[in-house]
Amino acid sequence: MVNRNPKRSDEPVWWGLFGAGGTWFAMITPITVLVLGILVPMGVIDAEALDFERVRAFVGSWIGMAFTVGTLALPMWHAMHRIHHGMHDLKFHTGTVGKVACYAIAFAISVLAVAFVFMV
């Protein structure tokens, strides 16, 4: 028999942020590491292309703000969702306290990322 009045769940929100963070971390972060961590130090990309004023101007644009917040916040949501469910899998049943703690950390990092881009 189908339950016509199922209990509402907040899991779709957390799974959406988990998926967005995982996708960002899998597709965007490796390119960022390649450019900033390998190509610039090796001299393939001129280091002056990433001087302070240019980077500040990029982070000050709307696309730069979105990129910076996405790079800082989305992988954190992914990680905190993994930790929350990983604790459950390891039989650490922290209940609502663990859930709130994990997602509060991710939310705090997201707020700090937004504050950071508006301070630039």
Q: Among 119, 105, 37, 32, which Cα is nearest to 73's?
A: 105
pTM: 0.84
Domain extent listing, the chain: 57-120
Out of 3.40.1280.10, 3.30.1360.10, 3.40.920.10, 1.20.1300.10, the CATH code matching 57-120 is 1.20.1300.10
How far is it, in rounded angstroms, from Cα 116 to Cα 67? Answer: 12
- Tell me the per-residue pLDDT of 46-73, one tens digit each, with 9 for 90 and over: 989 889 999 999 999 999 999 999 999 9
Is residue 26 pLDDT above 90, yes or no?
yes
Helix (H) or strand (E) holding 58: helix 52-60
